[in-house]
Amino acid sequence: MIHNMKINDSAFKRMNNGTKVREYRMNDEKRRKVQIGDIIEFHKISNPEDIIEMKVKDITTYKKLKAAIKKYFDKDFSSRHKDIDSTVQSFYDRGFLTQEEEEKYGIVVFHIEKIKRKLLDK
């Protein structure tokens, strides 16, 4: 199955160069439909026609964002954030999710690998 999600430009770039291998999302109804082996088409927010396809290799769920970030902080965030708490706060500050959404849905981490990148010319 193919799923569509939006992603910011810097995360898109890290996916494209192979350094972003996990995607953190609230585990709402939309994300619960994603299964191992599915494809996620990530659309760059600044240019939705710029798409990168990622295959879901594994899925891990957490009740709290802090637990997910703590698990992968060194690999995924230490180059951009000073510590786990500031990383968690950045998710809230940037509007990726609210504390209420975290409490209601929990967090899902998609372990992903790049399939191909499409640039559509219009």
Is 121 within the bounds of a domain? no
CATH number at residue 16: 2.30.130.30
Q: Is 95 helix (H, G, I), strand (E, B) or coil?
A: coil
Read off the pLDDT of residues 59-93 as tens digits, 9 standing for 90 and up: 999 999 999 999 999 999 988 889 999 999 999 99
Asked if residues 83 and 72 have their Cβ atoms less than 8 Å apart, the reply is no
> What value does the mean pLDDT take over residues 43-60?
95
For 23, residues 6+ apart whose C-beta sits below 8 A from its C-beta are 5, 7, 11, 40, 42, 54, 109, 110, 112
pTM: 0.88
Is 52 within the bounds of a domain? yes
Domain boundaries, position 83? 2-116
Is 81 within the bounds of a domain? yes
Count of domains forming the chain: 1
For residue 78, what pLDDT is reported?
87
For residue 79, what pLDDT is reported?
86
